Chain A
Amino acid sequence: MALPRALILFGIHVSNEIMDIRYPSFIFISISFLFFSFSMAGTNGNIEGRVKDKNTNEYLVGVTVQIVGTSIGAITDEGGYYRLFNLHNGNYDVKFNIVGYKTIVMKNVNVQADGRIRLDVALEQSAVELGAVEIFSQKPLIQKDQPATMFSISGVKLEKLPVQTFQEVLSLQPGVTMEGNVRGGKINEVMYFIDGLPAQDFISGGLGTELPKSSIADMMIYTGGFDVEYGNAMSGIVNVITKMGDNAYRLTFRFEKDNWIPSKWDKQVDQSNEGELRFSGPLLRDRLFYFNATTIKLNNSRWWQDMNNFFLSPNNKEVSGFSKIDYLFSATTRLTAQSVYSYHNWRDYEFSWRYNLGGLPERTKTALRGSVILNQTLSDHSAYSISGSTFYLQNRIGEGNKGDMKLIPYQFDYYLRFIIQGKENWWANAEQFVNTIKGDFNEIVANMHSVKIGFELNLYNINSDLIKYEPQRTYFGKPIENAPLLNYSNSYNYFPRTGSIFVQDKVRFELDGSTLSLGVRWDFLDPRAKRPIVEYISTSDNEFHQQIKGYRRATFKNQFSPRIAFAAPIGPDNIIYANFGKYFQYPLFDYLYAGIDPAQIFAGAKNVLTGNPDLNPELTTSWELGYKQSLGEFYVGSITYFQKNIKNQVDSKTLIPFDSKSAGDYGFAQYVNNAEADASGLEIVLARERDEQLSGGISYTYMIAQGTSELVDQTINRAQWGFPIQTSTFPLSWDQRHAIKLDIESKLWYGIIFNGIVWYNSPKPYTYFPTRDGFTSVDSTKDFVPNNARMKNIYFVNLKLSKEFLLSDISSSKIVLFADIRNLFNTKNIRWIDSNGRIGGELSDPSAYYDYRRVRVGFTIDF
């Protein structure tokens, strides 16, 4: 089979060169904007297919296939094949044109990142030149080259959904809990990418920076298997693809708040105000474009009634932004510079501190990422990208400098319930610089193999300084009076390195359209640290002397992750898919480095829980098997079974008895890889698509998540409480057995758009281990069994109503009014129950309930 020949349509000439129909070289047309594609991990896809004669069914050679309004195009080969290679994620109009046939424009063809969109067309013969026939292309109900569970949410949909941040979208997907646990994994097992580059907090975990909602063009959420180009994640991938500027000047302003009426009438508010400004356009027409979006959020939090007694309003301030400049060297080469920045300053709230909130430290998080990306499409079948980025993230806890901090033990009220005096002894300044260089090369070989190879190198500067003293508490949360404070303080500065290479072949079999994806990824972590060799010498009963016998260089870690995935149609309206892979994640750097700094140890610093630079990566082996079936014109259903086994999870290990006289008299423990977990489940989804009047979906998930540990300090906590070490598995706190999620989008009367989400979650587990006095269990003969009881069902109904008004008949300026309502029925959904079975514990802590109803009303103006 000959390769299809594609064209990158250059220039601004209007003449039409003679071209060889079989092997055309160039075509010149007038263009308004070079909206061409570029290669970047996880941002691009292809459109490909065959063109035939509608009457004779013969495949047509020489058909011009063009992205309307751009210089991107292709010519079909003798087999009727064409390919539009390496298109940026988005919607395109594709024109099919050849002399003697009616021209067809397929409108609104959706290209997803990593996707190979199949678009076959039949042209009808016509003796005379007619206007183009426009056909509105609908997204296929089943994406047949997708061999894993993946969800795509467009920026347009994101604006309509009742969500505040893009992270909330993750929890709307099947198999994901409200807190963001994907298919039984921990929250930190999800990796976030912005335009294919990581934006992670490598000390504390989670997303390192915020991003304005309006800067998002598309979100790809992988909750099943994912390609080898994504690493250092075990449960899921969220890849955010940002918008870019073009030749049109655009200005958008959004404002919303939840307290339009006085607080004395409605206390169910956060006293929240949010504004967002977005602007984009050309700096040099067809060459240089800019895009910027900035969001400012000010509120007093859910606890404003208490907070306003202590702090000036607003006490929660956040600014986040995204800027981008794209320069086109040519139709095939683009240079992008972008920055992501966010600043967040807030105060924590804990109910037990409500009479002394000033004693809780102030918190600040600052993030700044700058990146440069060079992309070049080399031909119709090959492209590469190379990028470099610097990410700075700072987390600060407490005011002033380290030396200003005074250790003031805080004081409880007589019944040991509320903290009425003193300050939380916590000060921290954690900084991380991550320099990343990343590249990949994509080649289509023999029209069926999409081969991708890539590399990534990350150089870190991890600098953490922490002072933290905590009172010893019983399992039931009561402070142990006169017991020495637990010292978690440490400080370190290390320069680890990580990197990876991967190779992947996605094979598409023309015969039946099935897809086989094979890939392997090799990753390394060089901790670049020395591990102290510690001996505990017993000096008398229950008393040990800690002796550092020397230091050993932490070993270089490396790991292979093979992945295989397969999707095959059984008939025209269905596919089965399966994938298997090994996924791993390096532990957070705090687990590696806390408390091992030789200078600190030499100075006599001792720590309750110390890091271990020889921790191995956590490893997940998972597979899934699914079936998708389209049902008529609008419906598609799927059923997916998944199973996961997670090994080498980080927990702690106590090296000497907890009450020993060593390590500052409090005992000593270290992070180790000693925990494991299992998860399995079934996801059933029924979606209605392609209908503007009514679309959406309903999903049901049955899931089991069990493990031997759910927190990295579980073992040391158990030791402190005098409980035995957990050896058997138990239902994890995110063991969400049954979940139903319903998402409806509909056009109501008078052009009002309705978007509603209904959530049902079956009860999650908690530990019932009652006490009367807060110090000892009621029945001391009973063993401590974690998560041995269940809470209550959770129901949520969230909705967003919006209505658009055109501001002018001659321009596209418009204003959209909207109302975003959370927890419409004001349901008292329980978040936690204490070990006595009391909602909110002894204090009736209101944080034991999820948020009550909130109504945010706002507007968006587009120019």
Chain B
Amino acid sequence: MLFIGCEEFLPPREQPPELFTATTNTVYDYYSPRIPQTYRNQIKYTFVVKYIYDETIVDTLDFGGKLTLTWMAPTMDGNQSTSKTVELNESFIKYTGGYNRSTGVITLTPNDSLVIEYNWNFITDDSTNLLEYFPSYFRNGQSGCKISPRQTIRASASIRLIKFRSNIIIQPFDFTQCFFTGDNGTPPCSDFIWDPCK
């Protein structure tokens, strides 16, 4: 009887392939025109999901998922929420080349990208306006433009493309910036200030 030379029946070790990479781009979007209706004070999030596997995927798009934005603040005095949770849907998709809206079928070839965009106006889940809670000071001394010291906003997301497949996880991404806080539609701050931290 030969007792040696037998392999344990363990399947070969092949790490599951990574199919997607995701990058997060963040821009502080402040625009303070004389016309209040076009005023903007928000963070623009752009998530670029790139398909990196070398086989083409053709499946029915079932877009969904969740985006969470959280002010990494010390605890608030009250019970106000410091985060915003957004349920994603197709309207957030800014660009996808291989998606046929009429059939609902998405075709992803290697290096195809999907771009998702969301603008956050600092309003949290319980309608708290964080701009009112950021610590702030007058940029020009005793009056005028009011800004906050650097604040950190963390973004994380979980994006579903296709039903019965794993979500694409966007790892937590921290964005640190000084924000304009001293206006409510009648802006005292010039939008020519490109970097409020300076």
Contacts and interface: CB of A to CB of B under 8 A. Distances in A.
B10 A305 contact: yes
B9 A828 contact: yes
Interface in A510-542: none
Given A269-B8, A413-B166, A415-B16, 4 more contacts: A261-B4, A482-B167, A775-B164, A828-B9
B16 A355 contact: yes
Interface stretch (A82-90, A218-226, A497-505, A844-852): A844-852
A455 interface: no
B13 interface: yes
B194 interface: no
B5 interface: yes
A420 B19 CA distance: 13
A414 B165 contact: yes
A414 B16 contact: yes
A416 B168 CA distance: 11
Given A414-B165, A482-B64, A482-B160, A302 B8 contact: yes
Contacts of B13: 305-306, 354
Contact of A844 (B7, B11, B16): B11
A826 to B, nearest CB: 6
Which bracket fits the contact residues of A? Answer: 35 or more
A266 B5 CA distance: 5
A411 B166 contact: yes
Contacts of B4: 261, 265-266
B169 interface: yes
Contact of B165 (A411, A415, A821, A844): A415
Contacts of B7: 267-268
Contacts, number: 81
Given A267-B8, A849-B9, A773 B164 contact: yes
Interface in A820-845: 821, 824, 826, 828, 843-844
B94 to A, nearest CB: 22
Given A417-B16, A478-B164, A481-B160, A411 B3 contact: no
A415 B5 contact: no
A848 to B, nearest CB: 10
A418 interface: yes
Contact of A355 (B9, B15, B19): B15
Interface string B170-197: 0000000000000000000000000000
A855 B5 CA distance: 12
- Counting from the closest, the 4 A-B pairs by CB-CB distance are A413-B16, A266-B4, A267-B8, A412-B166
A598 interface: no
A412 B166 CA distance: 6
Which has the most chain A C-beta neighbours within 10 Å: B8, B17, B164, B169?
Answer: B8
A322 to B, nearest CB: 33
Interface in A289-320: 302-303, 305-306
Contacts of A844: 11
Given A420-B16, A821-B3, A414 B166 contact: yes
Contacts of A416: 164-166
A852 B16 contact: no
Interface in A482-516: 482
Interface string A228-272: 000000000000000000000000000000000100011111000
30 contacts: A265-B4, A265-B5, A266-B5, A267-B6, A267-B7, A267-B10, A268-B8, A302-B8, A303-B10, A306-B10, A355-B16, A411-B166, A413-B17, A414-B17, A414-B19, A414-B166, A415-B165, A416-B166, A418-B16, A420-B15, A481-B158, A482-B160, A482-B167, A826-B6, A843-B11, A844-B11, A846-B10, A846-B11, A853-B6, A855-B3
Contacts of B66: 482
A774 interface: yes
Contacts of B5: 265-266
Interface string A415-454: 1111011000000000000000000000000000000000
A237 to B, nearest CB: 37
B110 interface: no
A796 to B, nearest CB: 15
B1 interface: yes
A481 B194 CA distance: 41
A67 B24 CA distance: 87
A415 B9 contact: no
Interface string B50-84: 00000000000000111000000000000000000
Contacts of B15: 355, 420
Given A415-B16, A482-B66, A824 B1 contact: yes
A481 B8 contact: no
Interface string A390-429: 0000000000000000000001111111101100000000
Nearest to A303: B10
A418 B17 CA distance: 11
Contacts of B160: 481-482
B166 A481 contact: yes
Nearest to B162: A414
Nearest to A854: B3
Contacts of B8: 267-269, 302, 305, 846, 852
A855 B2 CA distance: 11
Nearest to A776: B164
Nearest to B7: A267
Contacts of B167: 411, 481-482
A852 B165 CA distance: 34
A385 to B, nearest CB: 48
Given A306-B13, A826-B6, A482 B164 contact: no
Interface string B137-172: 000000000000000000000101001111101000
A420 B168 CA distance: 12
A303 B8 CA distance: 9
A303 B13 CA distance: 12
A767 B177 CA distance: 57
Contacts of A774: 164
A418 B9 CA distance: 18
Contacts of B17: 413-414
Nearest to A309: B13
A846 B9 contact: yes
A766 B186 CA distance: 71
Contacts of A305: 8, 10, 13
A536 B197 CA distance: 53
Nearest to B53: A414
Contacts of B11: 843-844, 846
A379 to B, nearest CB: 58
Interface in A775-829: 775, 821, 824, 826, 828
A354 B11 CA distance: 11
B3 A415 contact: no
Nearest to B16: A413
Contacts of A417: 16
A356 to B, nearest CB: 10
Which has the most chain B C-beta neighbours within 10 Å: A415, A418, A821?
Answer: A415
Nearest to A826: B6
Nearest to B158: A482
A305 B13 CA distance: 9
Interface string A110-152: 0000000000000000000000000000000000000000000
A840 to B, nearest CB: 9
